[in-house]
Amino acid sequence: MPTSAKITLSTPTGGDLQAQADASIDATTGQMTYSLSADHTKDHKLNYKAVWEYVHGGTTYYETQLFDVVKCMLSIPITDDDIYDEIESLRKKNVQATGTATAGAAGTITDTLNRKESDDYWKGGVIEILSGTGAGQKRDITGSVQLTGVITITPNWTTTPDNTSIYRIVKSYTAKIQQCFEELETMLYNKGKRHSLILESSQIKYPILYLVLHKICQDISDEIDDKWDRLSLKYEDKYKNAFTTMKVEYDEDESGSIVGDDEEAQSLSTLTIQRR
């Protein structure tokens, strides 16, 4: 756990953006954070530099981090439900487990006998009470603790489970979705001028969905040309088509309007821009 942390910010050209300032440290996780101001983010550019200085065990450490200030931030536009809507059979193929609770509380359920998975293994998934006290309730999982066998849920139970409650938990595809989102972000970044890109998260819904399905089916496939292998190839083609035909716009001169061939909507397959 760091005992102190500071940060210095520089512009992409090496100029001073923020003299060394104190950063915050989360007392539980040790995560270091610093809030950017409007002055820090007023210019849209790539490769700003943050230099962290922190003390741990009496020793000072340094870490350099690059970050971008962009016109449009992207967020993940799909959930597990979108995956199941596309391929319902994946619901049964997903990792799941059953057990009997040893205790329950308003926002948790405990199984000290069966739940030995690593912390937050089930985070993002769903738990359903199949029988016993609280039967029929279904909740989203916000975390799980290996040491105690406690699973936290949201919203709270209407009827609190007890040691008669038999449950089923289903793991989320959240990690796979995050992986594919980062892959697509990198592809957009590599096209250049990411700081001027105008793109809503809804526009990347289908490219990400198809990429996730390609990866999931690829993982499930046991041999060439089985059902999942064919689906993997199908969604790989759908992903490539959805990505290359996606229309994008750039406000490169930051005028507030889209003017000229370089800024008007165009498909990613026709772009000839280069990263500088």
Q: Is residue 87 part of a domain?
A: no
At residue 205, the pLDDT reads 95
CB atoms within 10 A of CB 48: 21
Whether 61 is in a domain gets the answer yes
Q: What angle do CA 138, 213, 249 make, to 5 degrees?
A: 105
Indicate whether 174 pLDDT > 90.
no
Average the pLDDT over 164-192 and give the result: 90
End-of-domain residue from the set 170, 201, 233: 170
b/e map of 150-182 (b: 16 or more CB within 10 Å)?
bbbbeeebeebbeeebbbebbbbbeebbeebbe
The phi and psi torsions of 138 (rounded to 5 degrees) equal -135, 135
Report which of 113, 273, 85 is spatially closest to residue 196, judged by C-alpha positions: 273
**Backbone angle region of 216, left / alpha / beta, with phi > 0 → left and psi within -120 to 50 → alpha:** alpha
Task: Tell me, yes or no, whether 275 lies in a domain.
Answer: no
Q: Indicate whether 239 pLDDT > 60.
A: yes
* Residue pLDDT, tens place only, 3-13: 999 999 999 99
pTM exceeds cut of 0.85 = no
- Range scoring the smallest mean pLDDT among 65-69, 137-141, 189-193: 189-193
Average pLDDT over residues 89-100: 88
Spacing of C-alpha 156 from chain mean position: 24
Q: Which residues contact 212 (CB under 8 A, 6 or more apart)?
A: 78, 83, 173, 176, 177, 180
Q: Decide if 90 is inside a domain.
A: no
195 found inside a domain? yes
**Cβ-count burial of 247 within 10 angstroms (0-12 exposed, 13-18 middle, 19+ buried)?**
exposed
Mean pLDDT, to the nearest integer, of 117-133?
92
pLDDT digit string (tens) for 36-92?
999 999 988 889 999 999 999 999 999 999 999 988 888 999 999 999 999 999 888
So what's the pLDDT on residue 267?
59
Task: Count the Cβ atoms, other than its own, within 10 Å of residue 246.
Answer: 19
Q: Cα separation of 33 and 42, whole Å?
A: 20
**CA distance linking residue 8 with residue 185, whole number of Å:** 26
Judge whether 83 lies within some domain.
no
Domain that holds residue 244: 174-270
Q: Contact at 8 Å (CB) between 63 and 8?
A: no
Domain total of the chain: 3
Q: Give the pLDDT mean for 137-163.
A: 95
User: Do 227 and 178 reside in the same domain of the chain?
Assistant: yes
Identify the residue whose tokens are 């990792």. 95
Q: Residues 6 or more apart from 42 whose CB is under 8 A from it? A: none
- pLDDT of 124 reads 86
Q: Cβ of 223: how many Cβ atoms within 10 Å?
A: 7
Mean pLDDT of 27-38: 91
Q: Please state, rounded to an integer, the average pLDDT across all residues of the chain.
A: 89
Task: Look at residues 136, 170, 204 and tell me which one is the last residue of a structural domain.
Answer: 170
Query: Which of these three, 170, 203, 225, is where a domain ends?
Result: 170
